[in-house]
Amino acid sequence: MWPDVEAELIARLSAALSVRHVTDLPANLLDALPINQVQRIGGEDDGIRLDRALVTVDSYANDRAGASLLARRTRQELVERLRGVQTTRAVFGRVATISAPAWRPYENTALRRMGATYEIYFHPVS
């Protein structure tokens, strides 16, 4: 069975960055800052066992500096440290930045959002 890449990344990033990671933003977002939202937005598989996921990560914080720092720390963790990691369900391979961290508008001006998109190859543990 294919691993849930969102669940795997949330567990890994939460432990590595000591910041809350979610797929759905909480209703009390301002009280939860800083926070990362992790969502698979597409990708493909080879029909055998290799999955290529496109994943977007939005970093939310009280100010630009906080959002920028969280986005950069997240990028470093994914691009520099995820390759070769094996969890109980997945083995991660190549990770590339498709769209580097950049400012994304958000309707609530009391916080700031920075987002990036990554290409992540992984397969189930044998």
Residue 41 dihedral angles phi and psi, to the nearest 5°: -115, 5
- For residue 64, the number of C-alpha atoms closer than 13 Å in the C-beta half-sphere is 4
The pLDDT tens digits of the residues spanning 17-59 come to 999 999 999 999 999 999 999 999 999 999 999 999 999 999 9
Sheet of 90-103: strand order equals 20-22, 35-45, 51-61, 112-124, 90-103
Alpha carbon separation from 28 to 25, 39, 52, 121 (Å, rounded): 8, 19, 33, 33
The domains found in the chain, sorted by start residue, are 5-124 (3.30.2000.30)
Decide if pLDDT at 116 tops 90. yes
- pLDDT score recorded for residue 12: 97
pTM, whole model, 2 decimals? 0.96
Give the pLDDT confidence score for residue 126 in this predicted structure: 85
Mean pLDDT in residue range 62-81: 98
Examine the pLDDT at 87 and tell me if it is beyond 90. Answer: yes
- pLDDT at site 29: 97
Q: Quick one: pLDDT at residue 105? A: 92
Q: Is the pLDDT of residue 1 over 90?
A: no
Calculate mean pLDDT across residues 56-85.
98
- Residue 117 scores a pLDDT above 90: yes
